[in-house]
């Protein structure tokens, strides 16, 4: 995933130009773009909400194309090609998965928080299939975005969709512009890519020109889907097809920026009042 600062900085660069007359709203969206990395909504057995020092909430930030029918899946331990095959095949029984929805209540409201995709999955398979973390396929980033977007018009801020909801959707959308998230890889340089993207974001000298490049590309995407789930899936497939080129930090930031602008223009702006 991108680092929290990268999510916020990339989002702020774009929202400031999309909403020039609503600076507080633009900043609120940017501040919320890191929320999905901060809400600790997954617990596993005796490990709690971290395992080997790593927070577990990011397990719902993947979206992987597979097969010949356009299907997509979320993270699965046994299908993670970045892990050594011996580890991937190991069945450690690290504990059952539990979804904690309470931290989402102030962001999405109690009713929608209770319908968290992972909570729904856990309820639906309990007693019929294993809930052990290493055997579970987690919901995709696209499913998470679709779920959160249901709260877009709850708690309107200045006649606009909730900035917290918009920021969360942008987080999942930007994550799938990282190749590791379109392949469900925890390793294979995942952390290094995050760090390089963060440095590239800090090193952008001409941010106006960078935005103009993004706007030019986004202007050519009139046929792109407007619905959050379909847009996240669209970018996951595009990232997956990019192959090795997708590991370039400038490519990640550019595509993350285009995806961000496309969503703000096609999904958020039409709802402003």
**Residue 191 sits in a domain of what CATH number?**
1.10.575
Overall average pLDDT of the 85-102 stretch: 74
- The model's pTM: 0.93
d(CA 166, CA 157): 11
- Looking at the structure of the chain, the number of domains it has is 1
- The per-residue pLDDT for range 96-148, each reduced to its tens digit, is 889 999 999 999 999 999 999 999 999 987 765 566 667 789 999 999 999 99
Three-point CA angle 147, 151, 155, nearest 5°: 160
Distance of CA 198 to the CA centre of its chain: 16
Q: Which domain holds residue 251?
A: 4-271
Q: Residue 144 is encoded by which pair of tokens?
A: 């998470």
Percent over 70 (pLDDT), the chain: 89
């Amino acid at each position: 995933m991108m680092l929290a600062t990268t999510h916020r900085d990339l989002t702020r660069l774009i929202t400031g130009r999309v909403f020039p007359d609503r600076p507080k709203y633009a900043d609120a969206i940017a501040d919320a773009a890191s929320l999905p990395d901060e809400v600790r909504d997954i617990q596993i057995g005796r490990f709690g909400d971290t395992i080997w020092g790593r927070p577990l909430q990011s397990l719902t930030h993947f979206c992987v194309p597979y097969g010949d029918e356009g299907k997509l899946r979320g993270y699965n331990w046994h299908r993670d090609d970045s892990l050594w095959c011996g580890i991937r095949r190991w069945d450690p029984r690290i504990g059952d998965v539990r979804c904690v929805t309470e931290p989402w209540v102030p962001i999405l409201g109690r009713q929608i928080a209770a319908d968290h995709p992972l909570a729904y999955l856990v309820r639906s398979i309990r007693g019929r299939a294993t809930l052990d973390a290493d055997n579970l396929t987690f919901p995709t980033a696209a499913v998470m975005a679709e779920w959160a977007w249901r709260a877009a018009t709850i708690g309107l801020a200045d006649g606009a969709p909730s900035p917290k909801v918009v920021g969360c959707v942008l987080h999942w959308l930007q994550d799938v512009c990282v190749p590791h998230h379109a392949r469900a890889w925890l390793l294979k340089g995942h952390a290094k890519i995050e760090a390089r993207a963060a440095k590239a974001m800090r090193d952008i000298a001409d941010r106006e020109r960078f935005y103009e490049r993004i706007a030019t590309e986004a202007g050519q995407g009139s046929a792109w889907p407007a619905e959050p789930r379909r847009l996240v899936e669209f970018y996951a497939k595009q990232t997956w097809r990019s192959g090795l080129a997708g590991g370039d930090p400038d490519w990640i930031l550019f595509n993350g920026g285009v995806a961000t602008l496309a969503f703000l223009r096609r999904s958020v702006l039409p709802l402003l009042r």
